[in-house]
Amino acid sequence: MTRATGPLTGATGPRRLGLAAGAATALVAALLAPTAQAAGTAADSAVPPGGGSLGEHVLVLDPSMPKAEIQHRLDALAQAQAGNEFGAERYAVLFEPGTYGTAADPLNFSVGFYESVAGLGRDPGDVVLNGSVDVYNQCVDGDRAKCYATTNFWRSLSNLTVNVAGKSGCYANTDFWAVSQAAPLRRVHVNGNLTLMDYCTGSPAWASGGFIADSKFTGGTVINGSQQQFFTRNSELDGWTNGVWNQVFCGTPGAPAQSFSTDPAAAPYTTLDTCPATREAPYLYRDPAGAYRVAVPALRRDSAGTDWAGGAAGGDAAGGGVADSGVAAGGSLPLDGFYVVRPGASARQINAALRGGRNLLFTPGVYELTEALKVTRPGTKVLGLGFATLVPTRGDAAIRIADVDGVDVSGLIVDAGPENSRVLVQVGERGSHDRHDRHDRDPIGLSDVFFRVGGARDGYATTALEVNSDDTLIDDAWIWRADHGAGGGSWNTARSETGLVVNGDRVVATGLAVEHFQKTETVWNGEDGRVVFFQNENPYEVPSQDVWMASRTQKGYPAFAVGDRVRSFEGWGMGSYSFFNQGVDIHSSTAFQAPSRPGVRLHDLLTVFLNGSGGIDSVVNGTGRAVNSGFGGPSNVLSQP
């Protein structure tokens, strides 16, 4: 996603200003050195404070440090990462429990590419920042008339409280989190105003496709602004303003009431009282003795609100805790049960750790894999810090997960490699769902797992993610074939047919974006599936209609297709956009395709013509007004059937 709410010409998206790569690396290394202890063994049971065996790209801050020193380090890191959209440098910033900044002397800092910022408390209230944690627009060549947030990807904030304070003028006393995909806010408490667009740093200030989960907002308003589509779940709101095409909420007290309509004057809100099934992402924290542990939140069904409102996460909002394999619901695991993986580790070493019963914690970096990582033990946890990135280099998958209970994978980017992979991540062996092995009490979960075919490198994959295991949870996934960067923008590079194939039954996806793939972008074959929020852009660079035909009579390919044999499926808040940029009259016959039977239900669908040529001829199954240069949309359909 680089396009936004209005017509754009020229460059595919904004580029950032920052330090040269060598200078940035040297500067950040110097700043991290005082707190990064000498590396220990990969599975140290006693992890020294200040980073230590978490690696040299983990910055651990504690409240005893002078505020000026903390400010300097965070500012330098943000400056180094500001222009690093496709660079290799990755960082995690971890705050020890305590309070940082004051109302009179606030801590205000920005977050750049590949920075994950998190508190090390058990609950968000254990780490308190008085100030703001910000993401601003990026301006093309410094031109304030070309400032956007539509490529503010790959950064995160989690597990802390922000008492908003400081700054001046237009920016005063407001936290700016102007992002698009792959930039989650999780498990945060923001006390004060939060804006999801940057209305101060130039114009037009477009943004698109963010994600909030398990968070609380008090003492102010969440300003949606220019966010085209946005997804918020299991959170609490004091107020929410504005909407562009569709804002989707589930399980969020205080959210706007359901109002999605074909009336262009109506507020575009899709609101569900509860979320079907969720399990929050595991997270790193320090226990009272100072040891690192990994919290494992519990499965929740038909839930609303945060899972930490009554203290440490745990329990099941629908009647009792649900146990994960090897750890009680809402419990935690010691870090000495993890192989702490650092850049340079081989796939063989990592697989040996998995066979030995270890969980995995990837420290920030890029990992080239000569063979797939094989997760076969029930309950295995695979976590990434600082957007750790896995790249299969020999045409295999990056990760293959067996059809077992309780595996969690979170906080990773998976890049396609130079040799075509049939699939980048496979959940359950093919045919798993045919065995009818239920995992409903302890499902496999993917949280904040992001896929790229192209962008950082010209990679190739037939399918990015294939889900064969029943009951799998997909929470905040951006599955992206690049529209810019290495391989992006050409039909014959960064080739990939499909972003997501779901064959398992009772799979639930919350916060799903699949974009620019060359055939049907999402194929859902499993029964009783649920999708809450779906965002899509068609491929931009289709060279001719002849090469983009689903059949002799169907132009283009659907963004989302429910399999012809599926008898039960339900989706809410689903949108698809077109921007065919080759000057050729390219059309998609329909954005969404599903069998017409009572058990298959789609709610609150939309299409939009962003710019370019051609368009989308119908929203779903031939119904819904076409979008094109004569009518840009949105074209809304309330339900199908």
Catalytic residues: 537
Q: Helices 67-81 and 21-32: crossing angle, nearest 10°?
A: 150
Q: CA 411 to CA 283: how far, in whole Å?
A: 10
Q: CA 182 to CA 149: how far, in whole Å?
A: 12
Sequence-ordered strand ranges (E) for 435-549: 445-453, 461-467, 473-481, 498-502, 508-515, 522-524, 529-537
What residues form DSSP beta bridges with 338? Answer: 359
Retrieve residue 278's tokens.
């969720």
Q: Which residues contact 477 (CB under 8 A, 6 or more apart)?
A: 446, 449, 450, 451, 465, 500, 509, 511, 512, 513
Q: CA 571 to CA 70: how far, in whole Å?
A: 45
Q: Which residues contact 68 (CB under 8 A, 6 or more apart)?
A: none
Q: Which residues contact 405 (CB under 8 A, 6 or more apart)?
A: 324, 325, 378, 379, 439, 441, 442, 443, 444
Retrieve residue 124's tokens.
């968000």
Pairing of strands 283-286, 292-295: antiparallel
Pairing of strands 600-612, 635-640: antiparallel
Q: Which bin fits 550, alpha (ψ -120 to 50), beta or left (φ > 0)? A: alpha
Name the strand (E) or helix (H) holding 555: none
In three-state secondary structure terms, 50 is coil
Q: CA 349 to CA 371: how far, in whole Å?
A: 11
Q: CA 639 to CA 218: how far, in whole Å?
A: 34
Amino acid, single-letter form, for residue 81: Q
